[in-house]
Amino acid sequence: MNENLPIPNLGLTEPEAEARFAELQKKLVPLWRSIQSFNQDEQTIVVVPSLTIDFDCSSSELQAYEERFLFLLLLLRQPRARLIYVTSQMIHPNIIDYYLDLLPGVISSHARKRLFLVSPLDASTRPLSVKLLERPRLIEYLRSLIIDFDRAHLVPYNTTTVERDLAIRLGIPMYGADPKTFWIGTKSGSRRMFADEGVQHPLGIEDLKSIDDVARAIAEMRAQKPRLRQMLVKLNEGVSGEGNALVDLEGLTFPGTSEHDLILQRLRSMKFELQGVTYDEYVAKLNERGGIVEERISGEEFRSPSAQLRITPLGQVERLSTHDQVLGGASGQTYLGCRFPADPAYAGAIMREASKVGARLAREGVVGRFAIDFVTVREQNEWKAYAIEINLRKGGTTHPFLTLQFLTDGAYDADQGIFRTALGHEKCFVASDHQDSPLYRVFTPDDLFAFRSDAAVRGRLSHDERARHTRPRGADGGRQ
């Protein structure tokens, strides 16, 4: 997260803010137990999909990211659930209608009465949580929409001290990791966690603070493994591979006392995953946030799977899903989409390794969803997996998977690597996070929904409600 953001002060010292937040978080335990017992008492879910991370995008891209968690509107299938969904700009009404029309056995007009769309009407690219904290009157309006503060919680995209402060201002707990554990989700923190828990990960060095540190780290690694050909430099904070840079060591002399300057020359020509980034800009961010350098794993058959888990407020670790990530970009490190489930040849193996980390995160007090990214290569007819990153947040695999769960009431069998609906039917999907083209600008939202309606009528594109078997669930459907 950018520490230079102008964030309104709560009027509390840091220890006071931490203590206040810890008290609020205790409310999650009885709330979760109530949900597990299928208690249908009224509950309010406040969704603030703020990208409070080091991420450059336009205002339209930011709005798209904030809207991609609109699948949470399907929580309104519970007759006494109230949902407050906040976005930087207002959402097109037809988009809301689209989601509400997916609700099984619920009259959309009844669900709409329990849905509250709130916006600061701020098109800037600053994080949504900051925009809210800047507007005390809007905070009070949000509070006025909460019926019972003991049966309400905040659902963020990722969790920083900004989201913590927002939870304090709202007076409700946050379903997400305590910001004190933020370090675990950095590139350096991930490597330390893998090492502590005996999870195989690429050769590398973490906690680097400057480009000279990177050069020395590469020299040290080449001393251990002289045949290294490519290295990856990664900023501690970054999403979708956008903080990564590829360093080509091909043809570099073997390790020796004079190689430092040669490595620095290679670093000046490293290939940045995010287009438009300059060397000086990248080094400035490295100096500010730190980073790592590690070997780039490669092979004839190479995949990038991930495993998703959840730690409940009761401290239980749940194995949720595995995906094969679809990557692209300058050097094949940018997240473009995913295939679900991951190849069964290695899905079980990466989930076992991820579960080791999950047990450790539970001991650290982490709550909520997280994912662990891997790279796998086939070696002598066997797949070998390397853990590369822990994401303490919802990610690109979250919304397509949870949409499938909501629509089918199904679950992923982590032992078999198969998703089955409540009726026992196996399901899979391919999801894209980058379905874009300048040609699409000719369409309005109304045009797209008209196309969908036409396709449904012709039997080419529709959701088959018969694939679902409805049964009672708690207010969050057990799905957040």
What's the CATH number where 317 sits? Answer: 3.30.470.20
Q: How far apart are CA 379 and CA 368, in angstroms?
A: 35
Q: What's the pLDDT score for residue 255?
A: 66
In a domain? residue 470: no
Please compute the mean of the pLDDT values over residues 94-100 and round it to a whole number: 92
Q: What's the pLDDT score for residue 160?
A: 92
> Could you say which of 295, 325, 357 is where a domain stops?
295
Total residue count of the chain as it appears in this document = 480
DSSP conformational letter for 158: B
Number of structural domains the chain divides into: 3
Please compute the mean of the pLDDT values over residues 1-15 and round it to a whole number: 66
Q: Which uninterrupted H or E stretch holds 382?
A: strand 382-391
How does pLDDT run across 79-92, given as a tens digit for each residue?
889 999 999 999 99
* Domain match, 239 and 171 both: no
Q: Taking 70 as the threshold, does the pLDDT of residue 246 lie above it?
A: yes
Please name the residue that has the structure tokens 């304090």: 168
* Domain match, 350 and 382 both: yes
| Percentage above 90 pLDDT, the chain | 66
* Domain match, 339 and 422 both: yes
Which among 170, 175, 152, 116 has a CA at the least distance from the CA of 41? Answer: 152
* Domain match, 121 and 62 both: yes
Please name the residue that has the structure tokens 């519970």: 78
In a domain? residue 191: no
Q: What's the pLDDT score for residue 360?
A: 97
Q: What's the pLDDT score for residue 2?
A: 42
**pLDDT interval class at 4 (50, 70, 90):** very low
Phi-psi label, residue 296: left if phi above 0, alpha if psi -120 to 50, beta otherwise: beta
Which distant-in-sequence residues (6+ apart) come within 8 Å of 400 by Cβ?
A: 338, 340, 429, 431
Which among 354, 411, 424, 429 has a CA at the least distance from the CA of 386? Answer: 354
Cα→Cα distances 257→222, 261, 390, Å: 12, 10, 35
Q: How far apart are CA 31 and CA 20, in angstroms?
A: 18
Q: Which uninterrupted H or E stretch holds 191?
A: helix 187-196
Q: How far apart are CA 190 and CA 182, in angstroms?
A: 11
In a domain? residue 415: yes
pTM comes to 0.88
* Domain match, 162 and 136 both: yes
Q: What's the pLDDT score for residue 474?
A: 41
Both tokens of residue 235? 């900023």
In a domain? residue 446: no
In a domain? residue 125: yes
How does pLDDT run across 442-475, given as a tens digit for each residue?
888 788 777 767 766 666 666 665 555 444 344 3
Q: How far apart are CA 366 and CA 472, in angstroms?
A: 28
* Domain match, 320 and 290 both: no
Both tokens of residue 276? 């438009």
In a domain? residue 190: no
Q: How far apart are CA 125 and CA 113, in angstroms?
A: 30
Q: How far apart are CA 236 and CA 187, in angstroms?
A: 5
Q: Taking 90 as the threshold, does the pLDDT of residue 441 lie above it?
A: no
Most confident of 127-141, 272-286, 316-330: 127-141
* Domain match, 244 and 320 both: no
**pLDDT interval class at 317 (50, 70, 90):** very high
**pLDDT interval class at 478 (50, 70, 90):** very low
In a domain? residue 476: no
* Domain match, 273 and 310 both: no
Q: How far apart are CA 412 and CA 82, in angstroms?
A: 27
Which distant-in-sequence residues (6+ apart) come within 8 Å of 32 by Cβ?
A: 312, 313, 314
Q: Taking 80 as the threshold, does the pLDDT of residue 282 lie above it?
A: yes
* Domain match, 420 and 338 both: yes
Which among 165, 115, 160, 155 has a CA at the least distance from the CA of 394? Answer: 155
* Domain match, 238 and 315 both: no
Angle 309-314-318 from CA coordinates, rounded to 5°? 20
* Domain match, 262 and 405 both: no
> Could you say which of 157, 176, 195 is where a domain stops?
176
Quote the domain boundaries for residue 360.
302-435
Which among 82, 76, 87 has a CA at the least distance from the CA of 49? Answer: 87
Radius of gyration of the chain (CA): 23
* Domain match, 24 and 156 both: yes
Least confident of 176-190, 290-304, 319-333: 319-333
Please give the full DSSP string across 305-363, using - where no structure is assigned. EEEEEEE-TT--EEEEEEEEEEEETTTT-EEEEEEES--HHHHHHHHHHHHHHHHHHHH
In a domain? residue 440: no
> Could you say which of 295, 327, 362 is where a domain stops?
295
Q: What's the pLDDT score for residue 468?
A: 55
| Percentage above 70 pLDDT, the chain | 89
